[in-house]
Amino acid sequence: MAEVRLVDVSKTFGDVRAVADMNLTIANEEFLVLVGPSGCGKTTTLRMIAGLEKASSGDIYIGDRRINDVAPRHRDVAVVFQNYALYPHMSIYDNMAYGLKRRKFAAAAIDERVREAAEILGITNLLERRPDQLSGGQQQRVALGRAIVRHPAAFLFDEPLSALDAKLRVQMRAELSKLHDDLQSTMIYVTHDQVEAMTMGDRIVVMLDGRIQQVGTPDEVYHQPANLFVAGFVGSPPMNFSRGELEAAEGRVWFTSQDLRLPLLPEQTAAVERFIGDDLVLGIRPEDIHAEEVRGSEQFVRVPMKVEVIEPLGFETHVVLTTGHESFVARFSPRVEVHTGMEQEVMVDMARIHLFAGADEHNLLVGNGTG
């Protein structure tokens, strides 16, 4: 049982509050991803769990055991870093066996574990080589192997793929997900890459300035972002934002900005009523701006725009459109014919909009846009 639990955990370095009042439970066998921009405190969180950094306050548990004062090597966690730091003069076999030897495992047990891990990772044929005879991806696998042989209660990953090229990263992402399925271990994974977070995590923790902004499944974080920061951080191209206000007129509630005037759907009114007259931010995902007629159209509002920039990706086209003062990115099917400078009427899916208001810019229409 390797549930990992952080209770009111904070970490300060001098004046810097790297992690603030963190409460988080990582379930047994869960793959949890900590994601956020540089400096948000994700690495510090991981290092506190590993024991490489001491929490300034709060409690950290693995299972029922409070581990704040337990030495790193007795925490039963294995860390895989970005720079895999293999011992250059040792064979791959010895690199993987090293930690077990230091822990005085019997030779037969070491051999069994090294070969089992090598089998899982598909590197059995590399065991006699030295690290400089391996590719970057193979070296990363050896680093994983060193962690696997320990049979830890939890794996901690600190940006393990960021040194690899883009193609290999995609491949290793899938391999790590499979490894998680095979080993059924608790895994905590730090990355600044929201695509890695979305594709790998059972749940994602989005952090900013040492604080958790949202914890949820990839689906929840994408479709029900808790606040403006999460909405802008997750998704590529990012969500479009328009600053404006809400106005009640003609028996409806309208979002109005410099260029837009969009009627909210009747079922959205209750959630936003007390913000009428306030400044707020409208969010629309690029895939919710359509070029073509969509059936079941009461929820769609037509908006005239003009095409500014076209980025064809083959499988889809990203189109930057302007309403005059405001710009919006849309994801169009490659079948849609567009050219720069043309007028393009788009259909905005009002059922999938988001509205952010208040000092913490929280999402008023949470629950919208799912399904």
- Least distance (Å) between residue 53 CB and ligand ATP: 8
Cβ distance to ligand ATP smaller for residue 54 or 243: 54
Cα distance between residue 289 and residue 350, in whole Å: 10
Hey, what amino acid is at 66? R
User: Which residues neighbour 69 within 8 Å (Cβ) at sequence distance 6 or greater?
Assistant: none
Cβ distance to ligand ATP smaller for residue 46 or 228: 46
Cβ distance to ligand ATP smaller for residue 42 or 146: 42
Main-chain dihedrals φ then ψ at residue 221, nearest 5 degrees: -65, -35
- Least distance (Å) between residue 160 CB and ligand ATP: 13
Main-chain dihedrals φ then ψ at residue 175, nearest 5 degrees: -65, -40
- Least distance (Å) between residue 195 CB and ligand ATP: 15
Give strand pairing partners of 186.
Answer: 154
- Least distance (Å) between residue 12 CB and ligand ATP: 9
- Contact yes or no for 244/260 (Cβ under 8 A): yes
- Least distance (Å) between residue 80 CB and ligand ATP: 15
Cβ distance to ligand ATP smaller for residue 47 or 223: 47
Cβ distance to ligand ATP smaller for residue 42 or 141: 42
Element at 320 (helix H, strand E): strand 317-322
- Least distance (Å) between residue 20 CB and ligand ATP: 10
DSSP-derived 3-state class of residue 246: strand
Tokens matching residue 355: 């509205």
DSSP string, 244-310: EEEEEETTEEEEEESS-EEEPPGGGHHHHGGGBTSEEEEEE-GGGEESS--SSGGGEEEEEEEEEEE
Nearest residue by C-beta to ligand ATP? 43
- Least distance (Å) between residue 82 CB and ligand ATP: 9
Cβ distance to ligand ATP smaller for residue 39 or 237: 39
Which residues sit at the interface with ligand ATP, rule CB under 6 A? 13, 16, 18, 36, 38-44, 192
Main-chain dihedrals φ then ψ at residue 44, nearest 5 degrees: -60, -40
Cβ distance to ligand ATP smaller for residue 79 or 321: 79
Cβ distance to ligand ATP smaller for residue 13 or 87: 13
Residue with tokens 């064979």: 91
User: Which residues neighbour 367 within 8 Å (Cβ) at sequence distance 6 or greater?
Assistant: 224
Cα distance between residue 198 and residue 221, in whole Å: 9
- Least distance (Å) between residue 14 CB and ligand ATP: 6
Element at 113 (helix H, strand E): helix 107-121
DSSP string, 30-91: -EEEEE-STTSSHHHHHHHHHTSS--SEEEEEETTEE-TTS-GGGS-EEEE-SS----TTS-
Cβ distance to ligand ATP smaller for residue 44 or 257: 44
Tokens matching residue 68: 């704040």
- Least distance (Å) between residue 335 CB and ligand ATP: 39
